[in-house]
Amino acid sequence: MRLIRTSLALLLFICLLAACKPEAPSAQQIVDKAIVAHGGSKFDKGIIQFRLRDKVYRSLRDNGAFVYSRSFTDSTGQHVHDVLRNSGFTRTINDEVVDLPDERKQAFSNSVNSVIYFALLPYFLNDAAVQKEYLGEATIKGEPYYKVKVTFAEEGGGEDHEDEYVYWFHQKNYTMDYLAYSFIVDGSGTRFREAVNPRTIGGIRFQDYINYTVADKNFPIQNYDKAFEAGKLKQLSEINLEEIQVSELPE
């Protein structure tokens, strides 16, 4: 009888512990909170400009309308200005429009869009083509995280819709501190990025990144947290946003 009572008490205790543990938020809830933590509605409308290496990027957004641009001087000393907007892509060299074949337009469009996309994450994770999945919890450098996987629907997902991402969001402040992704376009492989040097400018959180990889091109990206903790990653590069400016749209 005493054994039965002890077993029942233990079972009741376990049930109480399970009931007291808060239910994990959904992938959508996590992303919504992360977007707010990084700037929220300030992403929707305004002008953001920054330098990445030898190029200056500019993002102008007015809710659904956007104009992204990239300016730089090429190896021959010519001034190149790329503009990607809802209606398409144009390139000017020394203020003259250049006629480009469609494949070059697409390549340059992808290049400009990719830099803006990563610089403003997690803002774009609520785009219509985004498919989100909660993967569970993780601990990195002693801090608790939620893991969220992101894939893209073929319709509206762009040329690289087959790419996959995993994001690590801090459980308390919902900052996006790590991300990993696999890619097929322009070769194939995987990457892991650690966010560093966070700062808030104009109400928006900006971060630099340390870029890592592993030798195995087919490495499961959801396991990058464990590989990072074990010191098994190779550093490839640093991604530093400089001369950041945030301003409102002119009236």
* Ordered structural domains, the chain, with CATH: 27-247 (2.50.20)
Name the residue among 195, 107, 187, 203 with its Cα closest to residue 143. Answer: 195
Q: How far apart are CA 86 and CA 109, in angstroms?
A: 11
Query: pTM surpassing 0.85?
Result: yes
What pairs with residue 189 in β-bridges?
183
- How far apart CA 152 and CA 160 sit, in angstroms, is 9
The count of C-alpha atoms lying within 13 angstroms of the C-alpha of 221, restricted to the half-sphere facing its C-beta, is 24
Q: Count the neighbouring beta carbons within 10 Å of the beta carbon of residue 121.
A: 20
Integer Cα distance of 56 and 80 in angstroms: 11
pLDDT of residue 127: 95
Can you give the pLDDT at residue 10? 52
| Separation of alpha carbons 200 and 123, rounded Å | 15
pLDDT at residue 31, as a whole number? 98
Contact 138, 147 (CB under 8 A): yes
pLDDT < 50 stretches in the chain: 1-3, 9, 13, 15-19, 157
User: CA-CA distances (angstroms) from residue 248 to 7, 45, 112?
Assistant: 65, 7, 22
In sequence order, the 6+-apart residues with CB closer than 8 A to the CB of 213 are: 189, 190, 191, 192, 233, 234, 236
Tens digit of each residue's pLDDT (9 = 90 or more) over 214-248: 988 889 999 999 999 999 999 999 999 999 999 99
Peptide bond into 122 cis (omega under 30): yes
